Structures are given as structure tokens and as C-alpha cells.
């Protein structure tokens, strides 16, 4: 099942904290045992994932990676860092797709700047951030054409696609037989394959 609506950007609020330079963050992050985001001088620890989170991201990554074999598109999971200079954000999306050559942050080989599509697996602790403030930050990436939000608690996927006149269109998919078709690159996948081996918690 699929429905389509149009969304508009929402404003965000900034909270002032101790300032770290990007260089300081990268030095700390290289030595850290766990990952953190960086936003305008703030360092924010990232929560750990669940088995279902890992399965969903892994299933989606594996299907994309196989589909793009021999093609000029590359797929990455959350170990690769993203830098958005327009909003001064370093982060680790669950899945990123790059079309063509990688563009790296200045002086780095572990941080890219040009994804054409990003997917995030939603969790209770990050869902509001992924839907709101983070999506606004992602929309400042010039190359980005598509943003995918994948639920953990049920078979539901939301796809935000950028049009040529800079509008973002929302398409929703529900149920194992629904098929997600990317708009940024030629790729389709059934939700049943995204959620393969995922065990949903009882609703009782």
C-alpha cells in the first residue's frame, strides 16, 4: 500500500554548549571506542543499535550493494562518516548511496560529502530527530535526492523524494508485499526483503 503527500521544511532550534572545532572532534572521534555526532561545535554520543536495527540496515545495504554491482553507484553502512559543511554536521547514516565518484571532506579519506540517498532505521530514542532536525540538516546536501525512513516496530517505510523544483514528496509503504522503488537510482525492493528475519515485539 502506498500514499503520497507533499511536505515543507520546518525550522530548527539551536542549543548552545561548549564549542569543539571540527579538528578537535575528529581527533577525539578517531580515538573513541564509540561513535558520536558533531553539530556546530557540539559532540553528541550516538546510541547503540538493536538486533532488529542491524538486520534491517544490513538487509537493505546487502540488496543495494548486490543490485549496483558493476554500476557507478556505491553503498555504505554506518561505519562511514558524512560531513555536511553547510550545516557543520558530522554524522553516520545507517545507509548511504553515492552515484559516481566519492567526494571526501578536506584532508579526510574516511568522511564523504556527496550521498544521493540516505536511509535511517528509526528507533524510539532517535525517531523525532531523524524525522525533524536531522532531515532538515540532510536537506542542505546539494547532491541528496532521497531520504528513506524505515520503522523497526512494523513493516513501514517512508520515502522522501526531491523534485526538480526543490519540493520533497512523501510516499508511504506498508506490508511485506509493498515495493519500495528508489527515485534517485534504478532499484526496487519488497518490504518483506527489507524485514527478512526481523522479529517484531508482541503488541499485547
Please indicate, yes or no, if residue 137 is contained in any of the structural domains: yes
Please indicate, yes or no, if residue 16 is contained in any of the structural domains: no
Q: How does pLDDT run across 90-100, given as a tens digit for each residue?
A: 999 999 999 99
Please indicate, yes or no, if residue 190 is contained in any of the structural domains: yes
Please indicate, yes or no, if residue 57 is contained in any of the structural domains: yes
Answer whether 104's CB lies under 8 Å from 113's CB.
yes
Question: What CATH number did the domain enclosing 188 receive?
Answer: 3.90.1570.10
Q: How does pLDDT run across 142-181, given as a tens digit for each residue?
A: 999 999 999 999 999 999 999 999 999 999 999 999 999 9
39-47 average pLDDT score: 93
Q: Which residues of 107-141 are buried (b: 16+ CB within 10 A; e: fewer)?
A: eeeebbbbbbbbbbbbbeebeebbbebbbebbbeb
In 3D, which of 169, 139, 168, 153 has the Cα closest to residue 202?
153
Q: Which residue in the block uniquely carries the three cell numbers 572532534?
A: 25
Please indicate, yes or no, if residue 138 is contained in any of the structural domains: yes
Q: How does pLDDT run across 114-132, given as a tens digit for each residue?
A: 999 999 999 988 999 999 9
Where do the H-state alpha helices sit in 16-85?
22-31, 51-67
Please indicate, yes or no, if residue 32 is contained in any of the structural domains: no
Q: How does pLDDT run across 65-84, given as a tens digit for each residue?
A: 999 999 999 999 999 999 99
Please indicate, yes or no, if residue 5 is contained in any of the structural domains: no
Please indicate, yes or no, if residue 12 is contained in any of the structural domains: no
Count: domains in the chain: 1
Domain, as residue range, for 181: 49-194
Amino acid at each position: 500500500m502506498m500514499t503520497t503527500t507533499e511536505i515543507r521544511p520546518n525550522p530548527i532550534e539551536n542549543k548552545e554548549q561548549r564549542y569543539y572545532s571540527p579538528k578537535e572532534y575528529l581527533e577525539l572521534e578517531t580515538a573513541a571506542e564509540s561513535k558520536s555526532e558533531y553539530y556546530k561545535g557540539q559532540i553528541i554520543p550516538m546510541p547503540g543499535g538493536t538486533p532488529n536495527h542491524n538486520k534491517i540496515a544490513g538487509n537493505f545495504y546487502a540488496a543495494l550493494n548486490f543490485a549496483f554491482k558493476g554500476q557507478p553507484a556505491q553503498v555504505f553502512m554506518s561505519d562511514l562518516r558524512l560531513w555536511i559543511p553547510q550545516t557543520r554536521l558530522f554524522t553516520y547514516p545507517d545507509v548511504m548511496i553515492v552515484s559516481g565518484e566519492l567526494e571526501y571532506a578536506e584532508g579526510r579519506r574516511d568522511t564523504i560529502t556527496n550521498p544521493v540517498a540516505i536511509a535511517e532505521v528509526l528507533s524510539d530514542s532517535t525517531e523525532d530527530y531523524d524525522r525533524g532536525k536531522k532531515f532538515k540538516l540532510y536537506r542542505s546536501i546539494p547532491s541528496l535526492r532521497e531520504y528513506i525512513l524505515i520503522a523497526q516496530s512494523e513493516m513501514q517505510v517512508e520515502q522522501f523524494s526531491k523534485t526538480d523544483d526543490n519540493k520533497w514528496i512523501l510516499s508511504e509503504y506498508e506490508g511485506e508485499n509493498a515495493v519500495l522503488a528508489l527515485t534517485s537510482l534504478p532499484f526496487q525492493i519488497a518490504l518483506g526483503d527489507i524485514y527478512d528475519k526481523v522479529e517484531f515485539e508482541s503488541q499485547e
